[in-house]
Amino acid sequence: MSLSTQTQEKIYAGVLGKIIGVYAGRPFENWSWEKSKVLW
């Protein structure tokens, strides 16, 4: 089974976005809602 180029690009973008989101959010994982609310 072969995927179209557009489908491959969408999958790649989705995986890349997920990885970036996980790494960007990691420093804030243990913050309480109140602490994040004050900062943002």
CA atoms of 14 and 11, how far apart (whole Å): 5
Tens-digit pLDDT profile for residues 4-37: 999 999 999 999 999 999 999 898 888 898 888 8
Helix (H) or strand (E) holding 29: none
The residues, ordered by sequence, that sit 6+ positions from 31 with a Cβ below 8 Å of its Cβ are none
Q: Phi, psi at residue 30, to the nearest 5°?
A: -95, 10
pLDDT number for residue 1: 78
This prediction has a pTM of 0.64
